Amino acid sequence: MRIIIIFLVASFWFISCQQSSTNIASESKNKEEFPFFIPNEKPDRPLSAAVKRNYEAYEHIRPEQNELYTQFKYTKLKGFDYNGGDGTLTRRDPSKVIFENGKYYVWYTYRNTPVKSVGMARAKEANDTIPSADWDLAEIWYATSEDGFTWEEQGVAVPRPPKPHVGWRSVTTTDILKFKGKYYLYFQAFMEASGLRGDFCPVSVAYADSPDGPWTHSNKIVIPNGPKGSWDQYSIHDPYPLVHDGKIYLYYKGDFDKRPELKPSKIRMQGLAIAEDPLGPFIKHPLNPVINSGHETTLFPFKKGVAALVIKDGMERNTIQYAEDWVNFEIASIVEMMPVAGGPYITDAFTDTKDGRGITWGISHFTNAGGDWKNNHSILTRFDCDLSVDIHDDQMKEHYIKYSPEDHYKKRLSAKQHARIKEQNNKLKQ
């Protein structure tokens, strides 16, 4: 018996050695070294997984030739005051930008309260004048611009309706749809101070015949929270409508699976709901969530499909993704310093295009703009990029951003991390 076992082990070892040498042998079928001038098409030779990915996963093997790779540049906007940054006035979560009546339009969350927000953790202290979160007790305002850099605030578009109407606590995080000549603003409709239970809300809609209003609040929940136990049972955030296939494709974010023992604990993913009529019914896609990472939604028609800026959270954050079928997204590029809550100017957002041209600029936001959570407020900013098939701006296609030593030293170790390192050093000396 012992001899049989020894024989079996020896023969298994021999076969496995043979196999690994066969693998190496087969890989060494590569008669030549990988070439200095990299082939544009995938060469007929065994490739490593990484080089294979360069040919199969991305549109191009070089970032500068990848239409869905870009750097982002930012410009301060003129025309918005923030009460000296004391936390009482915030503008954030801008919509897409549209061009009508010879000018640009953007809508956004506007909070102007007598005192600054107390923070979601202290939501119990919130009342009719004390906001919990930066976006609590907010309305939807809008501004116009001739050039996208200097803006003129026009005032309120959708005010908070009286209690118990949909969104009576706060109407926030809006986005614009133009469909069959009418205009629609979708927005988060809070019926409780954010933070009391969580950042919980559904989505409602208002409509108008002109981008300047007057807006009629539907007082309807058009994207309801999901059923109990579902991923989007509490948060339907960042509604983002585009027109595709003659329908409204509305992407949104859901926050879920908050586990106090994990930090940061929430998972954020993005879903899709589709309707034939802007006032619904919206049918949530059976494959939801359709994007496995990200935070605020920013998407644009691109060639036959749709591209998405996937920012901040999740395993695939800091990527630009693409779905030719508008549902199944793949990573198209890895990028940095992405616009947060970006609202791009998209020429073909509502044209049901089959040849999306892409984007070159938009409006986004910076939260905690003063760097002091005690006076937390957000500001709007402009971003520029080259995610367009109609331009080639090589200054936007550089491979990386060179951060200064000071930029790196800003991310300094905490006292807790220093203590851990000191303990590790001490252990070595014992």
Figure out which of the listed residues 67, 139, 175, 238 binds ligand AAL, where binding follows CB under 6 A. Answer: 238
Closer Cβ to ligand AAL, 135 or 251, answer by number: 135
For residue 137, the Cα-to-chain-centroid distance in whole angstroms is: 24
Please tell me the distance from the alpha carbon of residue 236 to that of residue 167, in angstroms, as a whole number: 13
Determine, following the binding rule CB under 6 A, whether residue 377 of this chain makes contact with ligand AAL.
no
Determine, following the binding rule CB under 6 A, whether residue 136 of this chain makes contact with ligand AAL.
no
Where residue 79 falls (left for φ over 0; alpha for ψ -120 to 50; beta otherwise) is left
From residue 242 to residue 271, what is the string marking binding to ligand AAL with x (rule CB under 6 A)? Answer: -----------x------------------
Figure out which of the listed residues 136, 175, 199, 348 binds ligand AAL, where binding follows CB under 6 A. Answer: 199
Q: Which residue has the tokens 């939604």?
A: 297
Provide the token pair at 423: 């303990």
Figure out which of the listed residues 72, 110, 135, 200 binds ligand AAL, where binding follows CB under 6 A. Answer: 135
For the bound state, the minimum distance from the C-beta of residue 380 to ligand AAL, rounded and expressed in Å, comes to 13
From residue 324 to residue 353, what is the string marking binding to ligand AAL with x (rule CB under 6 A)? Answer: -----------------x------------
What beta strand segments (E) does 13-138 contain?
73-76, 89-92, 98-100, 103-112
What beta strand segments (E) does 261-355 contain?
267-275, 283-284, 299-303, 305-310, 319-323, 330-334, 343-344
Provide the token pair at 268: 């954020």
> Cβ contacts of residue 392 below 8 Å, gap of 6+?
386
Concatenate the DSSP letters of all residues of 246-282 into one string.
Answer: TEEEEEEEEEE---TTSSS--EEEEEEEEESSTT-PP
Closer Cβ to ligand AAL, 120 or 156, answer by number: 120
Closest among 289, 256, 254 to 272, alpha carbons compared: 289
Please tell me the distance from the alpha carbon of residue 240 to that of residue 301, in angstroms, as a whole number: 12
Please tell me the distance from the alpha carbon of residue 397 to that of residue 67, in angstroms, as a whole number: 9
Figure out which of the listed residues 90, 170, 172, 360 binds ligand AAL, where binding follows CB under 6 A. Answer: 172
Closer Cβ to ligand AAL, 68 or 221, answer by number: 221
Figure out which of the listed residues 116, 217, 237, 303 binds ligand AAL, where binding follows CB under 6 A. Answer: 237
From residue 80 to residue 99, what is the string marking binding to ligand AAL with x (rule CB under 6 A)? Answer: -------------x------
Figure out which of the listed residues 145, 173, 174, 376 binds ligand AAL, where binding follows CB under 6 A. Answer: 173
For the bound state, the minimum distance from the C-beta of residue 255 to ligand AAL, rounded and expressed in Å, comes to 8
Figure out which of the listed residues 136, 139, 175, 296 binds ligand AAL, where binding follows CB under 6 A. Answer: 296
Q: Kindly list the residues in this chain that would bind ligand AAL in the complex (CB under 6 A).
A: 93, 135, 172-173, 188, 199, 237-238, 253, 295-296, 341
